[in-house]
């Protein structure tokens, strides 16, 4: 099972995708978990409301989303368990697109879903391909697919 999780393609195209997605997700996760960059911090963030009524208790789902952004970003950035990190991010961004940003329409200027949709697409690309070259996954797999 572990070998399947770290299996990756021998391509370099994933490196800029990994690094860009990691930078964005670590920054947003740090806002929610650590209160960095003017963010609310974990206690304030987890006291909010979830986008869907079935997400109860709210603190659990909001905490999972915040940690998914931070931990997923770190995993993707390192290229360690890239698919796991990308899955965390994809789940969070899918929820953000449908549950939070959909009513705003497409464009980010109206709080629309174009930005989280882009992050979702990046996460899905990494979920499919793995970490690629210059990743811990590649080193752990002995450089083979």
pTM > 0.75: yes or no? yes
Please give the Cα distance from 123 to 76 (Å, whole number): 9
Model pLDDT for residues 60-72, shown as the tens digit of each residue: 999 999 999 999 9
Within 10 angstroms of residue 58's Cβ, the number of other Cβ atoms is 14
pLDDT in tens, 82-126: 999 999 999 999 999 999 999 999 999 999 999 999 999 999 999
Distance, CA of 10 to CA of 129 (rounded, Å)? 9
Domain ranges of the chain: 2-9+29-140
Q: How many Å separate Cα 86 from the centre of its chain?
A: 6
pLDDT given for residue 107 in this prediction: 97
CA distances from 70 to 6, 7, 19, 54, 82 (A): 20, 23, 14, 24, 13
């Amino acid at each position: 099972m572990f070998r399947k999780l770290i299996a990756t393609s021998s391509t370099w195209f994933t490196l800029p995708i990994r690094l860009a997605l990691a930078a964005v997700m670590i920054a947003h996760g740090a806002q929610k978990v650590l209160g960095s960059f003017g963010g609310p911090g974990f206690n304030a963030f987890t006291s909010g409301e979830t986008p869907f009524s079935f997400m109860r208790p709210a603190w659990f789902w909001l905490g999972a989303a915040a940690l998914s952004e931070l931990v997923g970003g770190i995993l993707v950035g390192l290229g360690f368990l890239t698919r796991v990190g990308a899955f965390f991010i994809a789940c969070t961004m899918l929820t953000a697109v449908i549950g939070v940003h959909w009513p705003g329409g497409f464009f980010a200027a109206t709080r629309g879903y174009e930005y989280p949709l882009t992050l979702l697409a990046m996460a899905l690309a990494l979920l499919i391909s793995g970490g690629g070259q210059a990743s811990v996954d590649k080193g752990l797999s002995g450089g083979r697919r």
